[in-house]
Amino acid sequence: MSSEQIGLSCLGILLVALIVRIPIALAMLLVGFFGFVGVTNMDAAIAMLKSIPTEVMANYEFSCIPMFIFMGVLASHSGMAKQLFIAARDIFGGWRGGMALAAVSACGVFSAISGSSMATASTMSRVALPEMEKAGYNPGLAAGALAAGGTLGIMIPPSIALLLYAIITEQSVGDMFMAGIIPGLAGLVFYIITIAVVVKIKPELAAGSDPTTWKEKFQAVLGLVPFGIVFLLIIGGIYGGIFTPTEAAAVGAFITLVYAVVQGMRSEGLISAVKETLALSAVIFFMLTGAQVFGYLVSASRLSFSIFDFVMSLHMSSFGVMACIILMYFVLGCFMDSIAMLLLTVPVFFPVVQSMGIDPVWFGVVSVLTVELGLITPPVGMNVFVIQAMAPHIAVNKIFRGVTPFILCDFIRLGALLAFPLMATALV
């Protein structure tokens, strides 16, 4: 077999491995290693396998990942989520569906600290779901709103997905974070509109909320100031050249730690947060190691060049190429985790996209938004199952029904991003 045939065969084997639920990190590592043996030889493959874990762990750019994770875990353990929900509930006091609107809005703000969709969904569901059920909300709408709101964590900076894309493709982290702001905020606004429309059409799905005075609303807005400070320090510091991404992550984690201690976090909570950070970081670094091994196979087998030659032979426009990539993401999203999908596909797709003159920053935002859709679409819908784990009494099919209007809303947002690339590039 030629090296290109070995590369394509390994890609097929990898997809089969993922369908049968072999962990993505292990699948990429094993398929990448044995494929590299086939393209080169055993000695070269062993030497490669010896060096890659050290390279990944010693990579300075990757060191910001644990810091951003730590920041999100601290926010989760310190009661920030509850404060956010209460503040948002006061802001939307008097609106029908006010608690659902508050939950989605709180998800949007919390995601600016956590950087993770599933962390946002699980944390906010603990806080908001019992309150909404107690108030008489339809369980499907309540859980669906939280599952959709959680997806904002993958787009609103500091997003771990945008960070990984920037590192893999050697783009500016600051540019990627700035590019995610408008699409992320657009998602929040679209979700708020979606809830307002749904409860207008079917008022029985949501109860009215207790009205609040303008003074209470103003005090609630003031309560959001600490979160705004953390966000501005991170994004402004990176984009203004004051901090590197790693320094910004460390500053954000330190401020969040101080806030958590002031709010009453004790040593037990801090130890628990550190343990959770280490566990989540280990998972991501294992995936990065597997992706790096598979990347060596892609490079050695010239797989990306073969795909590029195939695409060129079809004489497709850049729009046609993007349509095919988005379709591929939809298919992969049926059985893959979002971070794993980016680590697997970006090294393969990016050379093709770059050679066609497509803006890499815009492509990154489109990729992350498409991957975001996979978090709430069946059959996997990771966020849906996160919510269901938090509330086992709500059937999965009810949550999927509740999240359907938000999926339609995301398709509209994706169409707008494809039609108006300035949504991603205006702030860059």
Segment 84-114, tens digit of pLDDT: 888 888 888 878 888 899 999 998 888 877 7
Confidence of residue 121 (pLDDT cuts 50, 70, 90): confident
Q: Which helix (H) or strand (E) holds 209?
A: none
Task: Give yes or no for residue 208 having a pLDDT over 80.
Answer: no
Please check whether residues 110 and 48 belong to one and the same domain: no
Please check whether residues 47 and 116 belong to one and the same domain: no
Please check whether residues 45 and 179 belong to one and the same domain: no
Does residue 275 lie in a domain region? no
Domains: count for the chain: 2
Domain boundary (273, 300, 327) is at 300
What pLDDT does residue 334 have? 67
Please check whether residues 220 and 102 belong to one and the same domain: yes
Domain of residue 207 covers 59-265+301-425
Task: Give yes or no for residue 210 having a pLDDT over 80.
Answer: no
Interatomic CA distance for residues 394 and 28, integer angstroms: 35
What pLDDT does residue 18 have? 79
Task: Give yes or no for residue 292 having a pLDDT over 90.
Answer: no
What's the mean per-residue pLDDT of the chain? 86
Does residue 107 sit in helix, strand or coil?
A: helix
Please check whether residues 50 and 63 belong to one and the same domain: no
Picking from 63, 40, 44, the residue whose alpha carbon sits closest to that of residue 52 is 44
Picking from 201, 203, 186, the residue whose alpha carbon sits closest to that of residue 98 is 203
413 and 167 Cβ atoms separated by less than 8 Å:
no
Task: Give yes or no for residue 33 having a pLDDT over 90.
Answer: yes
- φ, ψ of residue 8 to 5 degrees: the values are -65, -40
126 and 241 Cβ atoms separated by less than 8 Å:
no
Please check whether residues 315 and 225 belong to one and the same domain: yes
Please check whether residues 140 and 207 belong to one and the same domain: yes
What is the reported pTM? 0.86
Please check whether residues 310 and 293 belong to one and the same domain: no
Interatomic CA distance for residues 270 and 255, integer angstroms: 14
**DSSP annotation string for 55-89:** HHHH-GGGGHHHHHHHHHHHHHHTTHHHHHHHHHH
Please check whether residues 75 and 22 belong to one and the same domain: no
Please check whether residues 290 and 349 belong to one and the same domain: no
Picking from 208, 175, 173, the residue whose alpha carbon sits closest to that of residue 362 is 175
- 380-401 confidence digits (pLDDT tens): 777 888 888 888 888 888 999 9
Please check whether residues 294 and 420 belong to one and the same domain: no
Please check whether residues 229 and 296 belong to one and the same domain: no
Interatomic CA distance for residues 214 and 412, integer angstroms: 33
105 and 88 Cβ atoms separated by less than 8 Å:
yes
365 and 426 Cβ atoms separated by less than 8 Å:
no
- Locate tokens 């690339």: which residue? 421
Q: Average pLDDT for residues 211-220, to the nearest whole number?
A: 82
